[in-house]
Amino acid sequence: MAADFAVLEHHAVVVNAGLIVALLPSAEAKRHFKASEHLNLGEQVLMPGLVNAHTHAAMSLMRGMADDVALMPWLEAHIWPAEQALLSPQFVQDGSLLACAEMLSGGITCFNDMYFFPQATAAAASQAGMRANLGLLVLDFPSAYASDADDYLQKGFDAHDTWRNNPLISSSIAPHAPYTVSDSSLEKVMTYAEQLGLGLHTHLHETKDEIARSESQYGMRPIARLAKLGILGPDFLAAHGVHLLDYEIDMLAAYGCHIAHCPSSNLKLASGIAPVADLLAKGVNVALGTDGAASNNRLDMFTEIRLAALLAKGVTGDATALPAQQALAMATINGAKALGLDDKIGSIEVGKYADLTAVRMDEILLAPYYDPVSHLVYCCGREQVSHTWVAGELRYCNGVYANIEPNELKDIVNTWQVKIKQVKQ
């Protein structure tokens, strides 16, 4: 996923102190370096770790809780009541650890999160050894986490201070959505983001209902309102972007904004299909995300990559739309760019962190294969992931986690499933 998108055969990646220090033919590597550890991956593809550009990790505990429901009824009748009853730092830490395990086993090395109690998510990500960009959530209505927008901001800044020196954890300010955050709160968000040098992460133009509400309340579409408030810019990442007019795509491109495309979640909630081909054609950086497991049921980036490529072809009627190489870029380097981390991760290049994923290609059900990039997108699944490294540290290998015990995950699931069932009754 470097600039030339080269596929290198029989090459070695040399890692020291978490960084890639050399990328060269294997025979040369053996001559020039004496390794303390040497791993021969054989019939595997080594690729950059996948970047999940939009999720709500703790909501893994709500997987399958309310299926086959449209977005607003899903939120208002199911998700928000459950959160009101159960939300706590322990809920968030447990749910996030479950999510980290799922993501690591599927080759995801970095995730961009938006949820309550981000300090608890940071604790789970740190245990798992994952890289995470954690949103400092902002809402105008109270929760078990905070009472109002000012309280959300203060709690978020307090959390941000606790992980400031953690090289695997970064922050953005995350106003939930234009329909849950007022103009005055958004103005505060923008001021603080500029002062602290933090990016912005929000939901935007996910449903037609969201847009209709904005037109009724503010007399304009959400993206126009955000532009008026000075929110749009190169540090702005919008999840979804399903319902965008041509001039709005031009606006996103002009401001240098990013979109996190979440195809499975958008389809499952019947929100629609984002105009990804048009966004890319206009120069908008489009990344990929799973959204939360409550609205997707899987934190599986291989599914999102394949689905994004197929949907783009089906919507445009053009089989050349979103080719495999571009789809894979959306899940790696584009996600890194959206999080402002493309100087550190997203491609296999000297000087970057060794956030890497190995994928088996020797299974007979995958044979034959001719183009490894095409095969990764259209044929492979997360079940073919054999190894996942974050900053050169092996975090997952063939079903075994470095820092997560399977019994710990079972206890988490058993505990919270009982409590969630009681709330649903």
Q: pLDDT tens digit string along 126-135? A: 999 999 999 9
Question: How confident is residue 183, by pLDDT bands cut at 50, 70 and 90?
Answer: very high
Residue ranges, comma separated, of all CATH 3.20.20.140 domains in the chain are: 50-338
Mean pLDDT for the stretch of residues 91-114 = 98
Residues constituting the chain: 425
Decide: helix, strand or coil at residue 217: helix
Using CA of residue 90, residue 92, residue 96, residue 99, what is the dihedral sign? Answer: positive
Question: How confident is residue 105, by pLDDT bands cut at 50, 70 and 90?
Answer: very high
Q: What is the amino acid identity at position 272?
A: G
Q: What is the spatial distance between Cα 46 and Cα 256, in angstroms, rounded to a whole number?
A: 31
CA distances from 326 to 255, 261, 305, 322, 348 (A): 22, 13, 10, 6, 16
Q: Is 295 exposed, middle or buried (0-12, 13-18, 19+ CB in 10 A)?
A: buried
Mean pLDDT for the stretch of residues 17-44 = 95
Q: What is the spatial distance between Cα 42 and Cα 104, in angstroms, rounded to a whole number?
A: 21
pLDDT of 379 > 90? The answer is yes
Concatenated DSSP letters of 252-299: HHHHT-EEEE-HHHHHHTT-----HHHHHHTT-EEEE----HHHHS--
Mean pLDDT for the stretch of residues 272-279 = 98
Q: What architecture is the 11-48+353-398 domain classified under in CATH?
A: Roll (2.30)
Question: How confident is residue 71, by pLDDT bands cut at 50, 70 and 90?
Answer: confident
pLDDT of 201 > 90? The answer is yes
Q: What architecture is the 50-338 domain classified under in CATH?
A: Alpha-Beta Barrel (3.20)
Least confident stretch, 82-86, 105-109, 134-138, 200-204: 82-86
pLDDT for the residue numbered 425: 67
206 neighbors 176 (Cβ within 8 angstroms):
no
The DSSP letter of residue 49 is P
pLDDT of 215 > 70? The answer is yes
Residue ranges, comma separated, of all CATH 2.30.40.10 domains in the chain are: 11-48+353-398
Q: What is the amino acid identity at position 264?
A: S
pLDDT for the residue numbered 202: 98
Q: pLDDT tens digit string along 218-255? A: 999 999 999 999 999 999 999 999 999 999 999 999 99
pLDDT for the residue numbered 338: 98
Q: pLDDT tens digit string along 356-376? A: 999 999 999 999 989 999 999
pLDDT of 409 > 90? The answer is yes
pLDDT for the residue numbered 42: 87
The rounded mean pLDDT for the chain is 96
